[in-house]
Structure 1
Amino acid sequence: MRTATRPPRLTRRGRPPLRRLLPDLGLGLVAALGLAPFGLWAATPLAMGLLLWRLARAHPSAVFWHGLAAGFGWFALALSWIVEPFLVDIARHGWMSPFALILMALGGALFWAVPAWAAARLARGWRQRAVAIAAALILSDWLRGWIFTGFPWAQIGHVWIDTPIGQTAAVTGALGLGVVTLTMAALPCLFWRPAQRAPLLPGTLLALLLLGGLWAEGLSRLAQPLPSDRDLTLRVVQPNAAQHLKWDPEWSAVFFRRLLDLSAEPGPRDLVIWPETAVNFLLEDAGPVLPAMSQAAGAPLIMGIQRREGSRFYNSLATVGPGGELGQIYDKFHLVPFGEYIPWGDALARIGITAFAAQQGNGYSAGPGPGTLSLPGIPDLQPLICYEAIFPQHLRALDQRPGWLLQATNDAWFGAFSGPYQHLAQARLRAIETGLPLVRAANTGVSAIIDAHGRIRASLPLNEAGRIDAPLPGALPPTVWSRLGNAPVLALLVLILAASLAPRRRRRT
C-alpha cells in the first residue's frame, strides 16, 4: 500500500476552463508588482509560491495553460510601457498599441508556459515537479536574453535590484537573483507535509531565514566603503526633448539651443555628456556647428548622433575635442528589432516596410560590437546606447576592463510610468554586476550618476530639463560575476533540474 503524500489534483487532463485560469492570471499580475516602479518585492515570492503550488498540483497536460495565464499576467503589467511608442503619433500608430501589448505579453508568457509544461511532464513527484518548474523558469529567463536577438527585460530576479539582496548580483548576476526568488517560492512546497497541523511552516521558516541572511549580507556589502571618487567632474545634460516634438525642425532647434545653454552654464567640468540622438542632424552635416558645441561644453564632449556611411545609417556616440575636432565614434551594435531595424530590411524596404524608431533610411545598421572610448585625462569607458544596457553579456566581452560605464539613452519612447524606471533599475544592476560606476544620460530622464554598488548619487527626474555636475565614483575590483559570468548558476540549475527529474523509487508499506 502506497503512502498518501500527494495533494489532490488541481485540474484534470487537457485545457482547463477559463475560470480556473483566472487565479493564475491574477498571481502573475501580483508577482509583477515587485518590479519598478511599484517595488513591492515581497509580492513576488509570495505570488510565485502560490503559482508553483498550483502548477505542481495541476495535471501535466494542463500546466501549459496555467503557465501561459500566469506569464501573460506578469508580462502584461511588466511590459505595459510597450504601448507608449505607438502613442507618440497616435493618429498613425495608436491602433497598434493594444495588439503590441497583447502579442508581447503572449510571447513572454510562452517562456513560462513551455518550460513549466516540460518540467511537469518529466518530473515524477509533485514536490519534484515544483522544484523542476522553478529551475526551468529561471533557465527560461536566461534563454530569453539570447534567443531571437534577446530580450532580458522583466526577469524574475529584477524585483531585488532596489533592496540589499540586489548586491548578490555581484556574485551571481541577475540570474542568481532569480534563483533567490524562486527558492523562497519553492521552499514551502518542498517541505509540505500533509499530516502536520501547519504543513507549510517549515518551508516558510527556511524561506524567511534565506531572506534574512541575504538581506544582512547585502547590508554588509553596502556598508563597505567604496574607493574614492575620481578627481574629475562630469556634466550630464538632460534636454527634455519630448518625443513627439524631437524631430520637428522648429522644436529641434529649441532643443539644440537648450543643449548648448545647459552645457555652457558656469561650473567646473572635465567632460560633458549628451544623450542618445541628441541632435536632429547627421554627423556628416555637423562640421559647421562642432566648434560652437565644443565652446559651449568648455571640455571634451560625448554626444549621441546619427551618422551615414554610403547607404548605411548608424546610431552612434561621437567625441568632440577642443575647437570642434571630431574624435572617436562608437556605433550601436545591439539594435531593437522592428524599432531600429527590420530583419531582411533591404528586401522589405522595397515594399515600404521600415524600422519604427529609426529616423534615417530604412533602419540602422549594426556596429562592430562592444568597445571603449578614450579621451585625454578620462578613464576609458564602455559605451552602451539605450537598449544595450539590458544585456549583461556585453559587459564581459572586452579584453580590457574599462574604468566606468556610460549609458546614453532616449527613454522618451517609454512614456513616464514604468518603462523609464525599469530601464534605470537594469542600469543599476549592471553597475552591481561589474563593480563599475555607471553614468546615465537620458533625453527626458532619468539621468543619473550611479556608483559601483548600484546606488544613485545624483539624478534628474523625468520630464525636466537640467544638468548634473558630479564626480565620477570610484570602481571596485572585478566582481565574481565579471570573472565567471553565469556559468556557476547555470551549472547549479542544470544539477537541480536533473535531480528533480530523476526517477523516484516507489515507497511501499
Structure 2
Amino acid sequence: MADPITSRLRRGVTSDAANTRGRTMPWWHYLAAATAGALNTLSFAPTPHGGWLELAIFVFFFAWLTRTTGWKSAAFTGFAFGFGNYVTGVWWLYVSMHFYGGMAPPLAGAALVLFSMYLAVYPALAAGIWSFCAGHARNGKLVDDEPFSPTWHGAFAFASAWAIGEWLRGTVFTGFPWLAGGYAQVDGPFAGFAPIAGVYGVGWVMALAAALIAQAVLRARSDANRDAGESSAAARVVTPAVIAIALIAAGLLLPLVSWTTPANASLTVRLLQGNVKQDMKFEESGVKAAIDEYQRMITEKPADLIVTPETAIPVLAQAVPESFALAVRRFADSTNTSILFGAIGGTITPEGRVVDYTNSLFGITPGQAGVYRYDKHHLVPFGEFVPWGFRWFVNLMNIPLGDFARGPAVQKPFVVHNQPVAVDICYEDIFGEEIARTVRESAMPAGVLVNSTNLAWFGNTIALDQHLQIARMRSLETGRPMLRATNTGATAAIDAHGNVIARMPAFTAGSIDATVQGTTGTTPYVTSGNNTVLAVSLLFLAFGFAFGPGRARSNGNSGANGASKRGGNG
C-alpha cells in the first residue's frame, strides 16, 4: 500500500510545490461533499429507517476525507458536507423568518445561508481535528499530494472528532443540536446505544462503524491493485469489517436490555391540538377564539392528564378570562383530571407593571387550590430572547414577545396521581443533557416526560417530523415515555422504548387519547449525561495525536516510513 502520509517528497517536487499541491483539491471534490451532506438530510425524519442511509453516506464521507492531503482540505471538505446538510435540513427557518416573521425574502434567504454556514463550521472543525489527530502532517509542514490512507487511528479519531464537533454545536451560543447524527438512528441500527451514551454517543458509534467499513473497503481495493504476498493483508481488510458488523449487531441487540422498570399505575392522557393559525394567534379575535376552543376541548371528556400546546392560551396568566378559569377548575375537580395548559407568565409590580415575562405551563391538580407552574429555561435565540448585538435583526421581523425571562434549570415535576411528570416547552427537548439532568437531580425523579410545543412558526415542513424524532430520542435516552401536545403537529404519545403509540394527523384540530406507563430507574446516560462520550472522544483524540503515524514521521522515523511503503501501517 502506498505511503499514507509520507515526509518524503516525490522526485523533482520542491517543498513549496508539495505544500501547494497537497492543500489544493479540485472544486468538484467539495461539490461532491456538499451533495453528500444534502443527501444526508434524507436520513432524518420523515424517512423511515433512515439510519441505514446515514451509515452509507458516512462511509462515503469518511472515504472522501481520506482523499484530502492536509488539514485545510479536510476542513473545507467537512464544511462543504455540513453546509449541504444544514441548508437543506433547516430550510424551514426561512418559513419562520419570511412568512411569519415578515422578513423580506432576500434577507430571509441570506440569513438561512449565513446560519447554515455557521453550523457548517463545526463539521469543518471536526474534520480538521481528525486530520491532525489521525496522522496528517503536523503544522502544515509535512504535506505531500498523496491521499491519506485510513488507519485505526483515523477511524477512532473520526468518530471522536465528529462527536466533539456535534457537542460543541449543541453547546456554543446556547446551542443548536438539530440534525445531530444520532437522531437519524432512532429507527436505525445504533439506537440501542442511546440509553448508554445519548444522541452524541450514538453519532460516535455510527461514525466509527462508517470509518471502519470505509477502511476495510479502501484497503481491499489497495490490496487488489498491488502484488500482495503478505499473510496480514486479509486481516487488514477483515478485522475492521468484523468490528463494524459487531457494532451494528450490538446496536440492534441492546434494545433488549431494560434500563428502567414500570412504576405506579398507568395514566390515561389526552393531548390537544388546536391547529390555531400562527398569523391569528396573537390577534384579539384569534386570542378569544383560541381560549374558547381550548376550554371546549379540555372539558370535552376526562382523563388522568390533559395537555395543551405551548401558549395555547396566548395571554398573561393573570389575564385568563374568569369563565375559562372557573370552567377548567370545576372540570378538574369533578372528574379527577389533572390539566397542563400553556400560557404567558409574568410578575406584576406594585405599580401595576408586568415584568419578567415567561413562556410557561400551568398545572391544575384536582382538589388542590394551588396552581403548578413551569417556566421555560432554555430560550430560543431571536424568538424568545435577543442575543447581544442582534436587536437590529429582530427589528426586521414581526415576532411578538421577543424577550422572556428564564426559569430555573431544574424545576419540580407536576404530580399526576402519584406519578411525577417532567415538563418542558418546545425547543427545550432538543437538549438531551438538560432532560437527563432534570431526571437525575430532581428530588422526585419523573417517570413521564411531557413536551408542549408550537411549530406553527414553521408551516407544513419537515420540522414537524424532525422534532418528533428528537422527542423519540429523549425517550430512548431516559427510558421514559414522552407526551407531545402541539398546535399543528406532530402531537403524539411515545412509549419508554421510543415507539410512537398514538399520533394526531398534522394540521387538524382535535385530540388523541392514549395510555402510558411511567417508569423508574436511571439509564447510564441519565447518570452520566454527555460526560461518557466526551471523555472517550478526548482520550482517543489525545492518543491519536500523541502516537499516531504522523507523529512517528514528524520525528523522522524512517522505519515507520518503510513499513508504510510495504503496506504495514494499520
Pair 1:303-2:341 in alignment: yes
Paired positions, count: 499
The change in CA–CA distance for 1:182 and 1:472 in structure 2 (over 3 A counts) is same
Could you report, residue by residue, the CA deviation over 1:255-279 in whole angstroms, capped at 9, with x for unpaired residues? Answer: 222212222224x412221110001
In structure 1, which of residues 426, 437, 440 is the aligned counterpart of residue 470 of structure 2? 426
* Partner residue in 2 for 1:174: 199
- Matched with 1:269 is 303
SS in 1 for 2:184: helix
Q: Quick check: 1:319–1:328 contact (8 Å CA) kept in 2?
A: yes
* Counterpart Cα distance in 1 of 2:346 and 2:260: 45
- The aligned residue for residue 140 of structure 2 is none
Q: Which residue of 1 aligns with 2:11?
A: none
- Residue in 2 aligned with 1:195? 223
> Is 1:285 matched up with 2:319?
yes
Correspondence for 2:121: 110
Partner Cα separation in structure 2 for residue 226 and residue 458 of structure 1: 21
* CA separation of 1:368 and 1:7: change in aligned 2, threshold 3 A: closer
CA-CA distance at 1:116 after TM superposition:
1.1
CA deviation after TM superposition for structure 1 residue 403, in Å: 2.2
Aligned to 1:493: 537
1:167 to partner: Cα distance:
2.9
Distance 1:49 1:367, change over 3 A: same
Compared with structure 1, are the counterparts of its residues 226 and 431 closer, same or farther at alpha carbon in structure 2 (3 Å cutoff)? same
Is the counterpart of residue 41 in structure 1 residue 76 in structure 2?
no
Give matches, 1:452-471, under 5 Å: 452-471=496-515
**Residue 228 of structure 1: how far off its partner (Å):** 7.3
Unaligned runs of 5+ in 2: 7-17, 137-147, 226-232, 348-353, 564-570
Q: How far, CA to CA, are the matches of 2:62 and 2:450 in structure 1?
A: 39
Larger radius of gyration: 2
1:451 maps to what in 2? 495
**1:220-259 alpha-carbon deviations (Å, 9 max, x no partner):** 348x996378343222111111212222222332222221
Question: Counterparts of 1:376 and 1:201 in 2: how far apart (Å)?
Answer: 56
Structure 2 CA distance for aligned equivalents of residues 134 and 225 of structure 1: 28
Secondary structure of the residue aligned to 1:88 is: helix
Q: Judging changes above 3 Å, is the alpha-carbon distance between structure 1 residues 496 and 80 closer, same or farther for their aligned structure 2 residues?
A: same
Q: Distance in 2 between matches of 1:415 and 1:270?
A: 31
Asked if structure 1 preserves the Cα contact closer than 8 Å seen for 2:305 and 2:339, the reply is: yes
Q: How does 1:38-437 map to 2 (within 5 A)?
A: 38-39=47-48, 40-60=50-70, 61-89=72-100, 92-124=103-135, 126=148, 127=150, 128-129=153-154, 131-163=156-188, 165-191=190-216, 192-193=218-219, 194-196=222-224, 202=238, 203-204=240-241, 206-218=243-255, 220-221=256-257, 227=262, 230-266=265-301, 268-286=302-320, 288=322, 289-295=324-330, 298=335, 299-309=337-347, 310-321=354-365, 325=369, 327-344=371-388, 353=394, 359-360=400-401, 362-375=402-415, 377-395=417-435, 396-397=437-438, 398-400=441-443, 401-437=445-481
Q: CA deviation at 1:390?
A: 0.7
Do 2:5 and 2:135's aligned partners in 1 also have CA atoms closer than 8 Å? Answer: no
Choose between structure 1 and 2 for higher RCO, CA contacts under 8 A separated by at least 6 residues: 2
One-letter identity of the residue aligned with 1:35: F
SS of match in other structure, 2:511: strand
Write out per-residue CA displacement over residues 96-132 of structure 1, whole angstroms, 9 at most, x where no aligned residue: 3312321221111100112312331353263234542
State the shift of 1:324 in Å: 10
What is the alpha-carbon distance in structure 2 between the residues aligned to residue 459 and residue 243 of structure 1? 21
1:20 aligns with 2:64: no
Q: Is the 8 A contact 2:304 2:416 kept in 1?
A: no
CA contact (8 A) 1:239 1:258 kept: yes
- The percentage of aligned residue pairs carrying the same residue is 29
SS of residue in 1 equivalent to 2:278: coil
Render the CA deviation track for 1:282-302: whole Å, top value 9, x for unaligned: 111115131123345553321
Secondary structure at 1:371's aligned position in 2?
coil
Q: CA RMSD in A?
A: 3.0
CA distance 1:157–1:232, shift in 2 (3 Å): closer
Displacement of 1:58 in angstroms is 0.8
What secondary structure is seen at the aligned counterpart in 2 of 1:135?
Answer: helix
CA distance, structure 1, for counterparts of residue 398 and residue 379 of structure 2: 11
After TM superposition, the structure 1 stretch with the greater mean CA deviation from structure 2, 396-405 or 277-286, is 396-405
Helix, strand or coil at the partner of 2:562: coil
Other structure's SS at 2:422 match: strand
The letter of the residue matching 1:119 is: W
In structure 2, how many angstroms separate the alpha carbons of the residues matched to 1:483 and 1:166?
Answer: 18
- Which deviates the most, 133-142 or 248-257? 248-257
Looking at structure 2, the residues matched to 388 and 160 of structure 1 have their Cα atoms a distance apart, in angstroms, of 20
Q: Relative to 1, partners in 2 of residues 1:141 and 1:169: Cα closer, same or farther, differing over 3 Å?
A: same
How far the C-alpha of 1:479 sits from its partner, in A, is 0.9
Q: For 2:29 and 2:193, locate their aligned partners in 1 and report how far apart those are by CA, in whole Å.
A: 37
Q: TM-score, normalised by structure 1?
A: 0.89
Whole-angstrom distance in 1 between the partners of 2:532 and 2:300: 49
* Structure 2 residue 486 is matched with structure 1 residue 442: yes
Distance 1:54 1:319, change over 3 A: same
Quick check: 2:155–2:212 contact (8 Å CA) kept in 1?
no
> Equivalent residue of 1:341, what SS?
coil
Query: Within 2, Cα distance between the matches of 1:470 and 1:408?
Result: 16
Task: Give me the TM-score of the superposition, normalised by structure 2.
Answer: 0.80
Q: State whether residues 453 and 487 of structure 2, in contact with CA within 8 Å, keep that contact through their aligned partners in structure 1.
A: yes
Residue of structure 1 in register with 2:351 after alignment? none
Q: Distance in 2 between matches of 1:410 and 1:368?
A: 21
Pair 157,275 (structure 1): closer, same or farther in 2 beyond 3 Å: same
